Amino acid sequence: MIFNSANKKFFLNIIIVCVIFILDRVSKEYIINLSEDSSGSELFSSSFLNILLVWNEGIAFGLLSFGDKYIYNFITVIIALVITIIFVMTLNSHGIKRFSFLLILGGALGNLYDRIYFQAVPDFIDFYIGELHWFIFNVADIFISSGVVILILFEIFSKKQKYKND
């Protein structure tokens, strides 16, 4: 009985990561194909959102974008190692913490795939208010950021609860 429960949880975890990865891949492929079919990189524009394809060769939100392929490859290896650590942390956690790591893992795998396949990550969501623009991001980044925010909130509230109980 325990084996069946563990198997179900394991497969549910794999499904969560796969769904995030597939959502990310489908959205990026759609935008890449749409961009190839249109004359410019801006695909949609409104008063608070632009959809435009930007190729990110750095890490999160375009940070550490260097033209050197050796640095790019080194950063990619570091990212793969971090993903491995996140995978192990996922296996060693449970509940909301595990769910947060699954969100991060699914998004990180999507971006790692792009780094390896395209040698850059396609970002396309440009959210802004007035002249204040956020970094251009993609669906994988949404899941990674959501997982990190949930982890932070979990840690804050679990520490608060611990202090109340002491």
Instruction: Give the domain range for residue 107.
Output: 2-165
Query: How far apart are the C-alpha atoms of 17 and 91, rounded to whole Å?
Result: 13
The pLDDT of residue 39 is above 60? yes
pLDDT mean across residues, the chain? 88
Read off the pLDDT band of 111 (50, 70, 90). Answer: very high
37's tokens:
């079919």
Give how many domains the chain has, as a whole number.
1
Checking DSSP bridges between strand 132-133 and strand 121-129, what pairing results, if any? antiparallel
Q: What does the pLDDT average to over 89-114?
A: 97
Query: How far apart are the C-alpha atoms of 109 and 44, rounded to whole Å?
Result: 27
In the block, residue with structure tokens 């491995």: 84
Q: What does the pLDDT average to over 78-87?
A: 96
Identify the pLDDT of residue 63.
57
Read off the pLDDT band of 67 (50, 70, 90). Answer: low
| Residue positions annotated with a catalytic role | 123, 141
Identify the pLDDT of residue 8.
87
